[in-house]
Structure 1
Amino acid sequence: MKKHVKSNVYWVGQNDWELRRFPGYEYSTYRGTRYNSFIIQEEKTVLIDTVITSFSSDFVKNLAKEIDLSSIDYIICTQAEEDHSGALPELMSLIPDTPIYCTENGRDVLKGNYQQDWNFVTIKGEERLSIGNGKELVLVDFPLSTYPDTMFCYMSIDNILFSNVLFGQHFSSELLFNDLVVQYDLSFESIKYYANLLSPLSNVVTKKINDCIKRNIPLDMICPSHGILWRNNNLQIVTNYLMWANNYHENQVTIIYDTMYKGTRAIAQSIAEGIYVADPHVNIKLLNASICNRNDIITEIFRSKGVLVGSPCMNHCILPSISLILDIAKGLKFKNKKAAAFGSCGLKDLSIGIVDKKLKEAGFDIVMDPISFKCSLTDEALEASRNYGWLFWDLLSRND
């Protein structure tokens, strides 16, 4: 069922309520996701994006109920990945000559994925496409390092930005717009999406947003390829992106650990107690990396000004859950995060050196030497851990 967006623009996408991991098993989607696709019905009829392959038959069948498929004049593919283009093979089997506007990278990906040489019209730089009634689609090639096939699409007069990967969330809802959904859910999914997927692109994102601000482009609505559409106070998400891209942190410390015989957990808890004594107003998160979802952990790291990471020693190494989190953080290139390592062991203490090294490799600013204890924890060891937490927060407060 198509839903009205604005003027002659309609949503024709698909909610995926059951999805819990995407793509593959990489990203947790507690609230499912939504694949956004749009029909513009001016003098020209334009389809912007489709949906993932698993919903392609439903998508084409439902679209055919709403419009005559042969009336589609242009298809805009803002990104060639399967979750945005998956219904193209079934759709194009019915309207094979319809031009598909995409970037050169997008064309190459579409050809590679579907082994079809459709009627591609490639976009270089910025090009305009008249759709009648004085309106234009401004198509902008905007390659990103992790999404080299990305294209923006801006609709004049109605002032709608079809922003593809930017400003989205993995969020399934029958409600289209940001002012209609639960605000906490929207806020959480938006910052999680940015922290886990877009933070390495912060410099490029900031530059593009500032370029648009300088050009004073009117913006009434933002329609990303996933999740909720922004209409009421729509610039709030743009402001948030500029804030998140600028070495973002809140008044928070996140303590991440894994444990075998509860020793490392006891150290983590004592460190938290010490931070609380130093400042009872700081938000402290204790996260067991073997239990907590890794995307949630990454989101909390992104929010934090300080991060402490602890692991016991196993097989001359650290526990895999901790290694994985630090490897992910390395790829995300977080900035301006203070950190320190801690751990426990039986006889041979190797873990804290490995954690300390991996924190440095991930770009964290190490502010204290690691702390570690052997065998059963004494009261003195727990007190030393509390002092360690107190000193860690003291250093952060003085350097903030």
Structure 2
Amino acid sequence: MDCRLSIMERVHWIGVNDRETTLFENFWPLDRGVCYNSYLITDEKVAIIDTVKFNKTEQYLSKVKEVIGDRKVDYLIVNHMEPDHSGSMKALVAAYPDMQIVGNKKTFDFIRGFYDITENFLEVAEGDELDLGYHKLKFFLTPMIHWPETMMTYDQTEKILFSMDAFGGFGSLDGGLFDDEVNVEFYEDEIRRYYSNIVAKYSPIVQRALGRLGALDLNVIAPTHGPIWRTSPKTIVDYYDKWSRYEAEEGVVIVYGTMYGNTAKMADYVARIISENGVKNVRVYDASKTHLSYILSDIWRFKGVILGSCAYNMNIFPAMELVLSKLEHTGLKNRYLGVFGNKSWSGGGVSAIDAFAEKVKWERIGSSIEATYTPKDEEFKALVKLGKEMAQRVKDNPL
């Protein structure tokens, strides 16, 4: 095995890059690709930690062989059963039929259900240990980050936390494997997009897990997506801590749905007011054009949110309905909210956003602004007031 793909002398990265899949979970765009990280420990016993998606199985098995040659695999440790990490399990079992599959009680229901594998299970519980020889592994159960069976594996010898999907992100590994080899700012955007769309709903659980893991001595955090954190594992922990506390930066995200441009005109107008009042981070999104994942990522990043919609069949514009639904589902807290929109003979868009506001309990900035047919002086004056008040709030109170 090329030493450049080793984390430590006996701990190897055997992951793969996927630049062919266009949608993660058949929904989230992968413009920058994604990687599936798997790890192999060579000791008196050989252990693999998670596998890779089924479209990369052949490449994956060749990597295993490259590392261990004719040795057998003693253990497959299953931290997470989502098919992008378990998809090569059946092929691995076929190649190493005596291999024991290590997981918690809930893991095995998933294995039976997905792959009809029913034997060679080794059940572990919270705090249990597995001795590989030199390496001593310890298991931490972390249910609902973000599936019921998820757990993490801690190498007590090398102080490596194999953290499954936690601390991961979108983006292929383009040469660099480690945080000191890549542009972390690039990955911060993709990690936040991953967090805000995949993990965000479970933020309170993330906070509890961070508290439990806080006592660990960590040299390396090795997730199943994104770079391996060997120089500054604290960086990725701090990201997760910040986002799971719903903390945000100074900035405003304006999201709107429009058919013929009148609601868009209102969005551009209030954006200019906010900018004139000293806020540099202003993001304006047409919900019909920009994928939801990018919108949510910026809403998770910035403190101010202004939502607008035209009326559509006496309801909200469909693209904005999806935005509201996902935002409510994530449980995001502590944002400032402004509301605007447009109608012709009947309303529906603004009232739907008002109903959303009642559910999420974000702090409202001003009253809802709804134009009839086209925005006129009265609405533009109200947008000036909204823009000024929003700018003042996010400048005075960034979290």
- Scaled to the shorter chain, the TM-score interval is over 0.9
Q: Summarize the alignment of residues 184-263 of structure 1 with structure 2, pairs less than 5 Å apart.
A: 184-213=185-214, 215=215, 217-263=216-262
Change (3 A) 1:365 1:80: same
Contact map agreement 2:139 2:151 (CA 8 A) in 1: yes
Change (3 A) 1:383 1:150: same
Gap regions ≥5 residues in structure 2: none
Equivalent residue letter for 2:169: Q
Q: Corresponding residue for 1:338? A: 336
Q: Corresponding residue for 1:351? A: 349
User: 346-355 or 311-320, which moves further after superposition?
Assistant: 346-355
C-alpha displacement of 1:167? 0.6
Q: Corresponding residue for 1:285? A: 283
Gap regions ≥5 residues in structure 1: none
Runs of 4+ in structure 1 deviating by more than 4 angstroms, as ranges, are 395-400
CA deviations over 1:124-178 (Å, ceiling 9, x no partner): 2121011112x30112222116411111101112111100111111121132101
Contact map agreement 2:74 2:98 (CA 8 A) in 1: no
Query: What TM-score comes out, normalization by structure 1 length?
Result: 0.94
Q: Corresponding residue for 2:363? A: 365
Contact map agreement 2:54 2:84 (CA 8 A) in 1: yes
Q: Summarize the alignment of residues 153-192 of structure 1 with structure 2, pairs less than 5 Å apart.
A: 153-173=153-173, 174-192=175-193
User: For residues 312 and 209 of structure 2, what CA distance do their matches in structure 1 show?
Assistant: 46
C-alpha displacement of 1:359? 3.0
User: For residues 298 and 136 of structure 1, what CA distance do their matches in structure 2 show?
Assistant: 40
Equivalent residue letter for 1:150: T
Equivalent residue letter for 1:267: M
Contact map agreement 1:307 1:337 (CA 8 A) in 2: yes
User: For residues 396 and 237 of structure 1, what CA distance do their matches in structure 2 show?
Assistant: 25
Task: Pick from 282, 307, 310 the counterpart of residue 309 of structure 1.
Answer: 307
Q: Corresponding residue for 1:6? A: 8
Contact map agreement 2:30 2:170 (CA 8 A) in 1: yes
User: For residues 396 and 45 of structure 1, what CA distance do their matches in structure 2 show?
Assistant: 53
Contact map agreement 2:279 2:391 (CA 8 A) in 1: no
Q: Summarize the alignment of residues 77-116 of structure 1 with structure 2, pairs less than 5 Å apart.
A: 77-116=78-117
Contact map agreement 1:20 1:31 (CA 8 A) in 2: no
> Sequence identity of aligned pairs in percent?
28
Q: Corresponding residue for 1:62? A: 63
Task: Pick from 368, 386, 389 the counterpart of residue 387 of structure 2.
Answer: 389
User: For residues 69 and 347 of structure 1, what CA distance do their matches in structure 2 show?
Assistant: 75
Q: Corresponding residue for 2:130? A: 129
Contact map agreement 2:18 2:33 (CA 8 A) in 1: yes
Change (3 A) 1:292 1:193: same
Equivalent residue letter for 1:342: F
User: For residues 288 and 152 of structure 1, what CA distance do their matches in structure 2 show?
Assistant: 39
C-alpha displacement of 1:319? 0.8
Equivalent residue letter for 1:351: G
Q: Corresponding residue for 2:25? A: 23
Contact map agreement 1:253 1:306 (CA 8 A) in 2: yes
Cα root mean square deviation, aligned: 1.8
C-alpha displacement of 1:399? 6.5
- Secondary structure at the aligned position of 1:100 is classed as strand
User: For residues 145 and 302 of structure 1, what CA distance do their matches in structure 2 show?
Assistant: 18
User: 147-156 or 384-393, which moves further after superposition?
Assistant: 384-393
User: For residues 391 and 80 of structure 1, what CA distance do their matches in structure 2 show?
Assistant: 47
Query: What TM-score comes out, normalization by structure 2 length?
Result: 0.94
Contact map agreement 2:129 2:138 (CA 8 A) in 1: yes
CA deviations over 1:92-123 (Å, ceiling 9, x no partner): 11222211001111111011001121311112
User: 192-201 or 224-233, which moves further after superposition?
Assistant: 192-201
2:118 is the counterpart of 1:117 = yes
